[in-house]
Amino acid sequence: MKLNRLIAILLLMESRGNINANELARALEVSKRTVHRDIEELCQAGVPIASSAGQSGGYYLMNGYTSSLKSLCTDEVITLYLSGIGIHPQKHTESGISLHNALLKLEKMLSPSYSKDIKNVRQRFLFDPEMWWNHKDVSCLETIRKSVLQSRKLKLAYVTSSLGRNDLNERIVNPYGLVVKHSEWYLVGFCESRNSIRTFKCDRITSADILPDTFSIPEYFSLTDYWHESVEKFKDKVSSKPVYPVTLKILNSDFKLPENFEIVENSGSYVTANLYSFENAANAVWELKNNATIIEPHDLKEYLLSMAEQFLKNCI
């Protein structure tokens, strides 16, 4: 979007002082021609941009000029960056308020000619991060986020699931980073009790307390590399055996799924299990009787419904 590029150009010129068209084009991933057009639009909007020739030349803001971008505080800059890479803060949280304030400051410094663009964007685009079913409230997310940024240890109460059974464990974790994948939050950190780097699903964290102790991330660790390796290992593990995921809603809180249900995801009343094949799933789910109902897949749901209808007809 052009508006984002214009803001980015101002940020780059304010932070670096002098930047040439090639550097801007690389940073914004556009052509030099686009950069020149954007610079011209900013000049027409009243931003005093000057240029210098030569090997070390480039574009810069004239002396004495400053935009309200410099009034952005650290939290506002961080939340702007996170939103830019797709990590959107939750409403009515500290980070959500920081993002709102940052956007207001950016609006104020823009030329009135862009107010129509902003209004159109607000009216015609909406980001809804919530899932259709089984919305999970990550209540400790703000605390986890703070500990990551401050490099402070976390004391977690974490729920592990195995064969339909939930166990609450206490962990001391050095939080290395947060990852968001399809609206799911994951904490990556060094677990002191396991003496290894682990991945924690944030919706399974029931409480989180920031400890006074700090830590340092090892120089060899890369959050990007770790996550990509973890994803590939997970894909290899899943592809090595048949997969037929079934999502159920548990109707009886005291009910425990049989051991032949390989739990993939468990968030209380909703459970996703790998049952390997359609035939195996049909037989296994039929035995659950009144303890669970199928959410998906729909073909399995329709098949079992037809089986139930036929069973009733035979009983009459």
Q: What's residue 8's pLDDT?
A: 77
What is the Cα gyration radius of the chain? 26
Architecture per CATH, 2-66 = Orthogonal Bundle (1.10)
Measured CA to CA in angstroms, residue 84 lies from 63, 81, 228 at distances of: 30, 5, 20
Range list for CATH 2.30.30 in the chain: 141-239
Identify the DSSP state of 253: T
Task: Give the three-state DSSP class for 41.
Answer: helix
Q: What angle do CA 66, 69, 75 make, to 5 degrees?
A: 145
Q: How far is CA 133 from CA 129, 141, 203, 248, in A?
A: 12, 20, 15, 11
Could you tell me how many residues make up the chain?
316
Q: Which residue spans of the chain are classified as CATH 1.10.10.10?
A: 2-66
End-to-end CA distance of the chain: 65
The predicted structure's pLDDT at residue 82:
58
Q: State the architecture of 141-239 in CATH terms.
A: Roll (2.30)
> Which positions ≥6 away from 219 have C-beta within 8 Å?
none
- H/E stretch holding 25 reads helix 21-28
CA angle 225, 226, 227 (to 5 degrees): 95
Strand partners, 191: 173, 196
Residue keyed to tokens 């682990």:
198
Instruction: With beta carbons less than 8 A apart as the criterion, state whether 65 and 32 touch.
Output: no
**Residue 161 CB burial class (10 angstroms; 0-12, 13-18, ≥19):** middle
pLDDT score for 163? 44
Amino acid at 180: V
Cβ neighbours of 175 (radius 10 Å): 26
Spatial strand order of the sheet with 165-181 comes to 196-201, 184-191, 165-181, 152-162, 205-214
Per-residue pLDDT of the chain (316 residues; tens, 9 = 90+): 566 677 778 777 877 778 888 888 888 888 888 888 888 888 887 788 888 887 778 888 887 666 555 555 556 556 665 565 555 666 556 666 665 666 656 655 555 665 666 566 556 666 566 655 555 567 788 899 889 988 999 999 998 865 445 678 899 999 999 988 877 789 999 999 999 999 998 888 999 999 999 999 999 999 999 999 998 887 777 666 678 889 998 888 788 888 778 888 887 788 888 888 888 888 888 888 788 889 888 888 888 888 888 877 777 6
Q: Which two tokens stand for residue 85?
A: 């890479």
> What is each CA distance from 288 to 207, 249, 258, 272, 291, in whole angstroms?
32, 11, 9, 14, 6
Distances (CA, A) of 200 to 174, 235, 267, 288: 12, 18, 14, 30
- CA dist 172 and 156 (Å) reads 6
Query: Residue 51: enclosing H or E segment and its boundaries?
Result: strand 49-52
Burial environment of residue 98 by CB neighbours within 10 A (0 to 12, 13 to 18, 19 or more): buried
